[in-house]
């Protein structure tokens, strides 16, 4: 790419890469060139991952079968966006945390088994969870941070389940546990990193 196509915009991370083309003809030409180059090196492009994607938005309205792709934990696809200057809604081709990444984060929280650890308190949970949450916010919250709301909601529901195990007065009383969490948020809004930055998410 650097030697033969220096004007092309492209990026690579490990064995994943993207090339931005201006036309479908250019994209097909690049795909053909890459296939030939990989074959010369005794390699093969991934048959399922390697695709030509149409970056559909308000300026590109044609119909193509592939209009989204995942890259480094993000899903790039057409999304509704708000133009603050013109105060209008428009369609942009933009990234947000992928469903695969959300499921991976959910699995990570499950391994911590917070729900059943009644021997610990809020401070303990915050101490080992905040670095994890902060890392996710810093990486995935850079673009369309609202995409992280499902994981915040899941984390808050985990806290509710933990509280029902921790405190006898809340045992199997989901509504009471939710009200208890709402009070904690008001009294200690900086306890968890997503609360601190205002991305509280639903508590029930």
Size of the chain, expressed as the number of residues it contains = 204
The closest of 107, 106, 191 to 152, measured between CA atoms, is 106
pLDDT interval class at 203 (50, 70, 90)? low
DSSP collapsed to 3 states, the chain:
CCCCCCCCEEEEECCEEEEECCCHHHHHHHHHHHHHHHHHCCCCCCCCCCCCCCCCECCECCCCCCCCEEECCEEEEEEEEEECCCCEEEEEEEEEECHHHHHHHHHHHHHHCHHHCCCCCHHHHHHHHHHHHHHHHHHHCCCCHHHHHHHHHHHHHHHHHHHHHHCHHHCCCHHHHHHHHHHHHHHCCCCCHHHHCCCCCCCC
pLDDT of residue 111: 95
pLDDT interval class at 17 (50, 70, 90)? very high
pTM of the model: 0.86
pLDDT interval class at 204 (50, 70, 90)? low
Q: Is residue 147 within 8 Å of residue 165, measured between CB atoms?
A: no
Mean pLDDT along residues 113-120: 93
Tokens of 119: 């021997």
Tokens of 98: 């992928």
pLDDT of 107 strictly over 90? yes
Could you read off the pLDDT of 139-189 as tens digits, one per residue? Answer: 999 999 999 999 999 999 999 999 999 999 998 899 999 999 999 999 999
The closest of 74, 99, 76, 193 to 150, measured between CA atoms, is 99
Cα(178)–Cα(70) distance, rounded to whole angstroms? 35
Tokens of 120: 């610990």
Cα(11)–Cα(112) distance, rounded to whole angstroms? 35
CA atoms within 13 A on the CB side of 77: 14
């Amino acid at each position: 790419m650097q030697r033969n196509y220096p004007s092309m915009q492209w990026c690579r991370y490990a064995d994943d890469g993207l090339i931005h083309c201006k036309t479908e003809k250019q994209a097909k030409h690049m795909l053909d060139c890459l296939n030939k180059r990989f074959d010369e090196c005794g390699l093969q492009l991934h048959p399922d991952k390697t695709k030509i994607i149409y970056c559909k938005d308000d300026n590109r309205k044609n119909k193509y079968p592939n209009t989204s792709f995942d890259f480094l934990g993000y899903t790039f696809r057409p999304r509704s966006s708000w133009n603050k200057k013109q105060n209008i809604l428009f369609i942009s081709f933009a990234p947000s945390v992928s469903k695969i990444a959300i499921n991976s984060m959910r699995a990570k929280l499950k391994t911590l088994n917070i729900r059943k650890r009644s021997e610990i308190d809020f401070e303990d949970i915050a101490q080992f969870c905040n670095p994890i949450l902060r890392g996710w916010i810093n990486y995935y919250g850079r673009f369309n941070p609202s995409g992280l709301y499902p994981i915040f909601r899941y984390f808050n529901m985990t806290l509710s389940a933990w509280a029902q195990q921790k405190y006898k007065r809340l045992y199997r009383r989901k509504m009471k546990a939710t009200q208890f969490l709402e009070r904690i948020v008001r009294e200690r809004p900086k306890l968890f990193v997503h609360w601190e930055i205002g991305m509280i998410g639903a508590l029930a």
